[in-house]
Structure 1
């Protein structure tokens, strides 16, 4: 079972509030958020250049580069925002934050108790 948190995604003048899966196994050098096509469309993001990636085992997937978005998380009075690269994952139904996005937002994850907080 994964841990999902409420986030706000913004691109230009478009904004959506959604739940995002925290996936520390989605390892990237820069903050990245993977989006299903439906959410990308709501943000007026369009699929750009196709990229392939290697997943667990022999899994090979494809994503489309889609530009930059702002990710915001809020807990009580604490709020954090970062810029992240958006990729469109055609077969995905969830919003997924990469390990670097999680770290730069200052999110700490306790999967045993299914809790998270900001530092």
Structure 2
């Protein structure tokens, strides 16, 4: 029953994101609204992490399976993709490297910030 409740919470937030897409006139997918809504709800502790943690971890574990239909769709439309395959590959490879670079920089920043905070807390405790 715990898993059904957690999945229901995630599904409810996802549905709310889809509804937001129709009421907010911006070209943003409903899934993004849902992610932002879940982030805000977790940040404000309206939803506690423990209330969605187990199902969230399960969904992350099975995420590679979610790419199978997209891959099959690409294979099915191979004839249409051949005309612009080189630009598509260049864009895919370059954006992948950009994402890796930005993710690394953000991770470095967050780790440095955490280290400075922990040093500051240690100094306060020592005094």
Q: TM-score range by the shorter chain?
A: under 0.3
Q: Which has the higher strand share?
A: 1
TM-score (norm 2): 0.23
Q: Which has the higher helix share?
A: 2
TM-score (norm 1): 0.24
